[in-house]
Amino acid sequence: MKKIRIAFFDAKEYDRQSFIASDKDEEYEIEYFETRLSEATCKLAEGSDVVCVFVNDDVNSAVIDRLTAMGVKLIALRCAGYNNVDIEYAYGKIHIVRVPAYSPYAVAEHAMALLLTSIRRIHKAYIRTKDFNFSLNGLTGFDLHGKTVGVVGTGKIGRIFIDICRGFGMNVIAYDKFPAKDSGIEYVELDELWERADIISFHCPLTDENRHMVNTESIVKMKKGVVLINTSRGALIDSEALLEGIKQRKIGAACLDVYEEESNVFFHDYSNHIVNDDVLARLISMPNVILTSHQAFLTNEALANIADTTLGNVREFFERDTCSNEVCYKCANLANCKQTHEKKCF
């Protein structure tokens, strides 16, 4: 029987290892491409049944047209978010599946790791002691116990982050467009969250509606010294407004695993290059900004789950009528598609 062919874009060595381990019976013919999917590169998918992509591949309308013309049937996202896919345009043309959850613990734990590193100055102390500098000047932090954390988005990752924060004795307030009933979470409106929180962590999807929810106006409403954590999607924060807030000493620290222009730089080694993004360069130069390059998901458990779920999605699509992890424009709520499909979407 002819094997299903998968064109795998933005492939890293850790992807290859986890997919090879998951496809132990070699059911699939997977071709790994280091390049990202774009209009210029989609010809590499010629002859494939499936295109497998990650967070920074650009699945715009032109790419969708090219892929459908080549006979590609399925776009398999190796991630939960799908803001990089023109999902409305794709409807009726090509099916989209995703990995709705692979390890919410990985992301929530990374958010806390960034927070602790930042406020206890671990990033500074690490460099100092490597140089046998044992001075403590400038390393004073603050206790998390008793502080108020505002969590934006109380889905899988947000809830785990809340549990972790409660373990530290923090007070939790939250905002969600669809608050969970009987959860014991104190939900407040966004303006109240901006005003009350000492620390704000983002765990909601990026939509047209909440793009740049952190902007000049919302920063004005926040407490002086607020710490922002973003492990969700970069464009939730207007980076220039963030930079200005830091320069004005309004924002005490920023812990970023995502950045709105990350697709130009993240996942590549630019250590020998001049980076052209002045906002990114200035943010990185700040002593109170910690940046990791979309690494929150990167644990052994998450990689194994991503590979197993992605290949399971492909198998289900070609062998059955169902498509449990399909995302489509017409799903009950585009911003929060939790529908389990009994049939394919179209």
DSSP 8-class letter at 31: E
208 binds ligand NAD per the rule CB under 6 A? no
Residues 6+ apart with CB under 8 A from 20: none
Residue nearest to ligand NAD (CB): 155
266 binds ligand NAD per the rule CB under 6 A? no
Could you tell me which stretch among 34-42, 126-134, 173-181, 218-226 binds ligand NAD (CB under 6 A)? 173-181
Looking at residue 6, its amino acid is I
Helix (H) or strand (E) run with residue 261 in it? none
98 binds ligand NAD per the rule CB under 6 A? no
**Quick one: which of 131, 143, 185, 130 has its CA closest to 160?**
185
* One residue of 77, 157, 306, 327 binding ligand NAD per CB under 6 A: 157
334 binds ligand NAD per the rule CB under 6 A? no
Nearer to ligand NAD, 5 or 156 (CB): 156
- The site for ligand NAD, by CB under 6 A, has a size of 32
104 binds ligand NAD per the rule CB under 6 A? yes
128 binds ligand NAD per the rule CB under 6 A? no
Contact 260, 239 (CB under 8 A): yes
* One residue of 177, 196, 211, 212 binding ligand NAD per CB under 6 A: 177
121 catalytic? Reply is no
| Cα 204 to Cα 154: distance, rounded to the nearest angstrom | 7
212 catalytic? Reply is no
| Cα 300 to Cα 164: distance, rounded to the nearest angstrom | 20
Could you tell me which stretch among 39-47, 84-92, 142-150, 289-297 binds ligand NAD (CB under 6 A)? 289-297
Contact 123, 104 (CB under 8 A): no
Could you tell me which stretch among 28-36, 45-53, 198-206, 244-252 binds ligand NAD (CB under 6 A)? 198-206
3-state secondary structure 34-91: CCCCCCCCHHHHCCCCEEEECCCCCECHHHHHHHHHHCCCEEEECCCCCCCECHHHHC
Contact 299, 18 (CB under 8 A): no
305 binds ligand NAD per the rule CB under 6 A? no
What are the residue numbers of the active site? 233, 262, 294
Q: Return residues touching ligand NAD (CB under 6 A).
A: 80-81, 101, 104, 107, 152-158, 175-178, 203-205, 207, 209-210, 231-233, 257-258, 294, 296-297, 335-336
